Structure 1
Amino acid sequence: YPEIRDRLILLNGWSKTYAMTGWRMGFSIWPKPLYDNARKLAVNSHSCVNAPAQWAGLAALTGPQDAVAMMLAEFDRRRKAVVAGLNELPGVSCIEPKGAFYAFPNVSQTGWKAKKLASALLEETGVATIGGPDFGVHGEGYIRLSYANSLENIERALGRMGEFLKSAKAA
């Protein structure tokens, strides 16, 4: 975008592209006139990503990129399986997410409040989800779950969720 280069700020990280979610690293590219202020902001809001994480990030950026395409294909397969499986659960509907590796299904027709359902799913089935209200005021009626797991585990979790929703009474 050459026409906006003087005011474009790029923020990115390694979490999604390189499956480095636990490393908690990101980077930014700023126009020269904003660089000094950006540096001050960064120094005062965070600092000192550990050296092994920095080396791992550098290796990911400069190393072979074929694994990225393979991961994208695998996450696409998992995304489709999660959405299809969620849409088969009683009272649950889910649109296909366009990014990351999280589904945010609507559970409002189950009769459960989102956070209560998330808690019950964890306690009763061992399936970890997060209630939508933890993501903002419009999150009630939704839960978030990750599909950054094996397809086998995803299918097992969906099965447990289905059994739970068929048998449990809403709290």
Structure 2
Amino acid sequence: MTMTVNKTKHDHIILCTIDELVPADHMVRKLEASIDWCFIYPLVENLYSRFGRASIDPVVLFKMIFINIIFGINSMRRTCREIEVNLAYRWFLGLSIKEKVPNYSTWSQNYIRRYSNSEVFEQIFVKILSEAMNCGFVDLDTVFGDSTHQKANANKNKYT
């Protein structure tokens, strides 16, 4: 029996689109098909100037939050790194392979400077939650609660 040695080359040219490489049943495809993200533009229009350098597309910024939350990535920096290498995430954001992913610092500063004093987050959350419920993505039969801020009362005789 002979041993096989993998001599993989990393300089292959692939002639296909990102669309062909993202599986049909991937979660990003379900999100894209279920939510019309264009509703974000009129909500944030007054927060952007018509002058100066071009901004990052606000839909891209909000979709990056979705990637962060839905796929359980616990930091903005790591989310940006994952988007750099994950074709499904790039497809979802509408970024080509050659386009740069927004820097985590730019991403966070947009929220701090542009959105912190507005009701944009709540409006977008309510809209997406209602669409998710209409599509059957939200299960209302099970409710989870976080009681980390409640004091436990294990002593049954304390108030007798």
TM-score normalized by the length of structure 1: 0.21
The structure that has the greater radius of gyration is: 2
Q: Whose RCO is larger (CA < 8 A, sep 6+)?
A: 2
More helix by share: 1
More strand by share: 1
